[in-house]
Amino acid sequence: DTGVSQDPRHKITKRGQNVTFRCDPISEHNRLYWYRQTLGQGPEFLTYFQNEAQLEKSRLLSDRFSAERPKGSFSTLEIQRTEQGDSAMYLCASSFPGRPKQFFGPGTRLTVL
Amino acid sequence: GDSVTQMEGPVTLSEEAFLTINCTYTATGYPSLFWYVQYPGEGLQLLLKATKADDKGSNKGFEATYRKETTSFHLEKGSVQVSDSAVYFCAPAFKAAGNKLTFGGGTRVLVKP
């Protein structure tokens, strides 16, 4: 399977705990994007990387959120001190250099109790 | 800032009916335009795209034409099937903004036999 993969697919945590998600993009893609989708809404942009550089962060990405892509391949998204409002589907996408078409992973569904 | 307005759903149709979902965007430039589809229980899939004015994207019987003068990218299908039941998202991507996608709220389509 050469598509975008995300792990875990589901995560249930208690409020105040930290969680980390992983995204493995398509290997030739140098751009990697994170989005968040809450129930009944369209995905919202969080941040994106070109290789290992984080080029933009949305205002939605509070200081409890941090994303990394240390070697320009996989990326992690960490949420510290989770809140119930963080419950959502976290989507990762990747693209070829300079090309607008993005390929999406299956997402990680986070539930904060 | 850049934004997209998408026809609200749900849209309920009978099989073989004509479907149209309106999408308009506001922007200072000329984005690439995408329609993504999310089938029940599945991830986001690219349905079709258009990268410049007057381009027509098509896939699986769906079509959308990039209308620069009206900043629109309406989705159409002449004869829907039950299997077309899904949520459809319109999303422009701006090269100057790293090609991040700005999604509409989504339109839920339900096709009844």
Q: Three-class SS of residue B36?
A: strand
Q: List CB contacts (< 8 A) between B45 and chain A.
A: 104
Strand spans (E) along chain A: 5-7, 10-13, 19-24, 31-37, 44-50, 53-57, 65-68, 75-79, 88-95, 103-104, 108-112
- For residue B64 the two structure tokens come to 């959308």
- For residue A25 the two structure tokens come to 């993009």
For residue B35, the distance in angstroms to the closest alpha carbon of chain A comes to 11
What's residue B28's pLDDT?
76
Report pLDDT digits (tens) over B27-52: 778 899 999 999 988 889 999 999 99
Q: Do A101 and B46 touch (CB under 8 A)?
A: yes
What's residue B8's pLDDT?
85
- Residue that has been written with the tokens 């509070």 in this structure: A62
Q: Do A100 and B104 touch (CB under 8 A)?
A: no
Q: Which of A67, A69, A63 is nearest to A83 (CA)?
A: A63
How far apart CA A94 and CA A50 sit, in angstroms, is: 10
pLDDT band, very low/low/confident/very high, at B95 (cuts 50, 70, 90): confident
How far apart CA B113 and CA B81 sit, in angstroms, is: 8
Q: For all residues of chain B together, what is the average pLDDT?
A: 93
Q: Do A56 and B93 touch (CB under 8 A)?
A: no
What's residue A112's pLDDT?
98
pLDDT tens for the 113 residues of chain A, in order: 579 999 999 999 999 999 999 999 999 899 999 999 998 899 999 999 999 999 999 988 899 999 999 988 999 999 999 999 999 999 999 998 778 899 999 999 999 99
Nearest-5° angle of CA A55, CA A59, CA A62?
Answer: 100
Report pLDDT digits (tens) over B53-66: 999 999 999 999 99
Strands B11-14 and B62-65: unpaired
Cα Rg, chain A, nearest whole Å? 13
Q: Which of A72, A73, A43, A70 is nearest to A58 (CA)?
A: A43
**Interface list for A 57-86 with B (CB within 8 A):** none
Q: Which of A45, A84, A88, A85 is nearest to A67 (CA)?
A: A45
